């Protein structure tokens, strides 16, 4: 099941085909029906905790009911749901699920703050960029972060452009090419003396999943300072092989020198 009411993949819980599919999988040789999963993606249309929890409750109830229905056909399996909003504001019945998939609440982002999953102060990811040029004829700054640094997610969603610029509520990230971005004031002329070349600007991503996937290394910091003794987090993204989990758990430390086979 996926989103329960808006199926991107899988089948609707209410369709007879759902039971037939489960039976076919359970009866097939070399295949095991591990569980039923529903991603309550309709929480992304919510505004506030009450709406989020209403969707989470409905998704949880329907998933558990479907698992019980499978039992009546002799099929026992696990149950799981997940989305960042629903797991940020869980309902009591979610404790009956085998597992939950909490999405990106390790980081959160501007999108989640608008939905009501979190406050903007909860967002724990930033993308640093530098001012590398002044364009007085356009009333703009040029920065060294393009869509390969933060993604294009969020276009047209915010009054501040593709991201929020921390500490500068009057600045807007108006456009990006692959490697560069253009920043201008929401209103009025730019005071370029406030943004000399080399000035660091801190971007709060609209969608942290997309932004995080652009970077192989994350630096751990607190209040703008790198944590003493904190090592950078090395990330493998876009890689799906069965041995990766085992490989990572056995690593002594630095993974930069490890050569991974092609997926």
Confidence tier at 263 by pLDDT (50, 70, 90): very low
Per-residue pLDDT tens over the stretch 35-81: 999 998 899 999 999 999 999 999 999 999 999 999 999 999 999 99
The mean per-residue pLDDT over the stretch 11-35 comes to 91
The model's confidence at residue 233, banded by pLDDT at 50, 70 and 90, is low
Decide if 183 contacts 171 (C-beta within 8 A): yes
Are 234 and 132 in the same domain?
Answer: yes
Is residue 53 in a domain? yes
- Please tell me whether residues 135 and 234 are part of one structural domain: yes
Which of 50, 69, 103 marks a domain boundary?
103
| 95 or 156: which leads in pLDDT | 95
Is position 260 within any domain? no
Q: What is the pLDDT of residue 228?
A: 65
CA atoms within 13 A on the CB side of 76: 0
- Cα dihedral 44, 48, 50, 54, rounded to 10, equals 0
Model confidence at 237: pLDDT above 60:
no
The pLDDT value recorded for residue 211 is 94
pLDDT at 154 over 50: yes
Structure confidence by residue, pLDDT tens digits, 191-229: 999 999 999 999 999 999 999 999 988 888 877 777 765
Model pLDDT, residue 226: 77
Contact (Cβ atoms closer than 8 angstroms) between residue 114 and residue 74: no
Under DSSP, is residue 185 helix (H, G, I), strand (E, B) or coil? strand
Domain membership flag for residue 115? yes
**Final residue belonging to a domain, choices 54, 73, 103:** 103
CA-CA distance, 80 to 1, in Å (whole number)? 10
What pLDDT was estimated at residue 232?
64
Name, in order, each residue with C-beta under 8 angstroms of 103's C-beta and a sequence gap of 6 or more. Answer: 82, 83, 84, 85, 87
CA–CA gap between residue 70 and residue 22 (Å, rounded): 8
pLDDT score for 227: 74
Q: Mean pLDDT over all residues of the chain?
A: 86
Instruction: Provide the pLDDT for residue 177.
Output: 96
């Amino acid at each position: 099941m996926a989103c329960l009411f808006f199926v991107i993949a899988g089948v609707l819980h209410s369709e007879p085909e759902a039971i037939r599919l489960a039976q076919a999988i359970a009866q097939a040789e070399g295949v095991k029906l591990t569980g039923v999963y529903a991603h309550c993606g309709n929480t992304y249309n919510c505004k506030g905790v009450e709406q989020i929890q209403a969707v989470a409750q409905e998704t949880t109830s329907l998933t558990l009911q479907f698992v019980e229905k499978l039992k009546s056909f002799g099929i026992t399996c696990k149950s799981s749901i997940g989305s960042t909003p629903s797991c940020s504001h869980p309902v009591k019945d979610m404790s009956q699920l085998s597992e939950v998939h909490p999405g990106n609440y390790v980081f959160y982002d501007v999108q989640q703050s608008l939905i009501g999953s979190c406050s903007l102060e909860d967002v724990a990811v930033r993308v640093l960029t530098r001012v590398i040029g002044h364009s007085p004829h356009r009333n703009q700054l040029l920065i060294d972060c393009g869509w390969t640094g933060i993604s294009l997610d969020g276009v047209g969603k915010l009054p501040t452009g593709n991201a929020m610029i921390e500490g500068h509520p009057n600045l807007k990230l108006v456009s990006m090419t692959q490697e560069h971005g253009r920043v201008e004031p929401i209103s009025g002329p730019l005071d370029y003396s406030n943004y000399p070349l080399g000035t660091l600007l801190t971007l709060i991503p609209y969608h942290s999943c997309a932004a995080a996937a652009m970077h192989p290394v994350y630096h751990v910091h607190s209040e703008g300072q790198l944590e003493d003794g904190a090592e950078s987090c090395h990330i493998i993204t876009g890689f799906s092989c069965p041995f990766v989990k085992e490989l990572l758990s056995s690593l002594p430390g630095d993974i930069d020198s490890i050569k991974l086979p092609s997926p």
